[in-house]
Amino acid sequence: MEQKTRLTGGFQTGLTAGLGVMTAILLATAVSQLATVITYVVFALLLALGLNPLVKLLQKIKFPKILAITVVVLGFFGSLALLISLALPVAIEEAAIFIQQVPTLISSFFSLELISQWDVRLSGSLTNAGNGLIDFVSNSANWPTLLGGVFEVGLGVVSATFGVILVGILTLYFMASLDQIREYLGKLVSSSKRESFFSISDQISTSVGRWVIGQLSIALIHAAVVFTFLSIVQAPFVLLLTFIAFLFALIPLVGPVIAFVLITSFSLLAGFETAIAVGIFYLIYLQIDAYLVSPRIMKKAVSIPSAAVVIAALAGGTLMGVLGALIAIPIAASVLLIIREVWMPKQELT
């Protein structure tokens, strides 16, 4: 009888463990399937928290809440639409010029002395590969293939448009319901600790809002520096490259590195010397941005040590890619705030 009981207990333990593993797999699958939706929600929430201080400011000067939210949201997305409408035609025009100059760029690359020496050693294989690549790029019928086909290009445009609209709607919803969400979450906490919870949650939302503003400031500084230097060295497609620099600078640490590779590659169109100058300058600025500009701005915005900013961004980017790099600093600020406001006072009492 005792042996039977042991077998039953072992079976139950195995069954419970198996169900736990299956549940974990199902949850992981669900999260991976909903990755795009989760990304939209996170972006919308970050935007809502970043714009919320402006709503509070308008409310202080006697604006009704609904009117304040409407003014802020329409102002933000209206400014974004105006910027895109002004920059997009120039970007498309410069992109078209770039595509026309790609064969020249490829020819210049294979004409370099080092490449020519290797081409001789490989019996002209590099030249043949370069000519084939030039023929492929020169044929406009092949351009959609580079992006996965006409259908995929159209689907990508539709998906991006839908994403922008969805983020805008979610941002409006979050901004209108931030107070309700705060009150609802407060009811999940015991009444004796509710006031402390509200205080900490307000500080966290304020920190996240400041982080959004800080990250936008970093991106604007990055774009201004890139625009100034590219104009000085007379690099091609200055406006297009500046826009690229701004977009990628919104992604902490990882984004500026990607922008460095792209912008340096584009600079080859103006000559090898220009590309070298841009590359050296960009490498120097990346160090200044990573260890001086970004940490200082983020330290003032979210009140966390500079080292924690760098470590959090690296860890978030490694674990979750772009989304992880974006949310890592607000999460780190929230954790440090909870430690400072909750855990440390408890330690003082023991």
Convert 289-313 into a string of H (helix), E (strand) and C (coil).
HHHHHHHHHHHHHHCCCHHHHHHHH
**Looking at the predicted structure, is the pLDDT value of residue 259 above 80?**
yes
CA distance 136 to 349: 73
CA distance 266 to 99: 11
Single-letter code of the amino acid located at 182: R
Mean predicted confidence (pLDDT) in 293-314:
73
Residue where the block lists tokens 């402390």: 196
Q: 59 near 68, Cβ under 8 Å? A: yes
CA distance 202 to 299: 18
What's residue 1's pLDDT?
Answer: 46
More confident residue, 88 or 289: 289
More confident residue, 88 or 276: 276
What's residue 193's pLDDT?
Answer: 79
Mean predicted confidence (pLDDT) in 266-280:
81
What's residue 267's pLDDT?
Answer: 81
Number of residues that this document lists for the chain:
350
CA distance 93 to 25: 48
254: tokens are 């990882």
User: 80: closest CA among 164, 177, 145?
Assistant: 164
**Looking at the predicted structure, is the pLDDT value of residue 337 above 80?**
no
295: tokens are 């940490």
User: 42: closest CA among 247, 212, 218, 256?
Assistant: 212
pLDDT above 70 coverage of the chain, percent: 75
Helix and strand numbers, DSSP H then E, in the chain: 14, 0
Q: Cβ–Cβ contacts within 10 Å for residue 334, how many?
A: 20
What's residue 94's pLDDT?
Answer: 67
Cα angle for residues 295, 321, 255 (degrees, 5° grid): 50
**Looking at the predicted structure, is the pLDDT value of residue 308 above 80?**
no
What's residue 225's pLDDT?
Answer: 92
DSSP 147: T
What's residue 28's pLDDT?
Answer: 75
What's residue 147's pLDDT?
Answer: 54
Which range in 84-88, 139-143, 245-249, 337-341 is most confidently predicted, on average pLDDT? 245-249
CA distance 266 to 102: 10
**Looking at the predicted structure, is the pLDDT value of residue 291 above 50?**
yes
What's residue 9's pLDDT?
Answer: 60
What's residue 102's pLDDT?
Answer: 67
CA distance 182 to 316: 26
Please tell me the least confidently modeled range out of 22-36, 46-60, 119-133. Answer: 119-133
**Looking at the predicted structure, is the pLDDT value of residue 287 above 70?**
yes
Instruction: Provide the whole-model pTM.
Output: 0.68
Helix, strand, coil content of the chain in percent (nearest 5): 90, 0, 10
The string of DSSP codes covering 220-271 is HHHHHHHHHHHHHTT-SSHHHHHHHHHHHHTSTTHHHHHHHHHHHHHHGGG-
308: tokens are 């924690």
Residue where the block lists tokens 């995929």: 152
CA distance 172 to 69: 8
Q: 93 near 237, Cβ under 8 Å? A: no
**Looking at the predicted structure, is the pLDDT value of residue 7 above 60?**
no
CA distance 109 to 115: 8
Could you tell me which residues come within 8 angstroms of residue 284 by beta carbon, excluding any fewer than 6 positions away? none
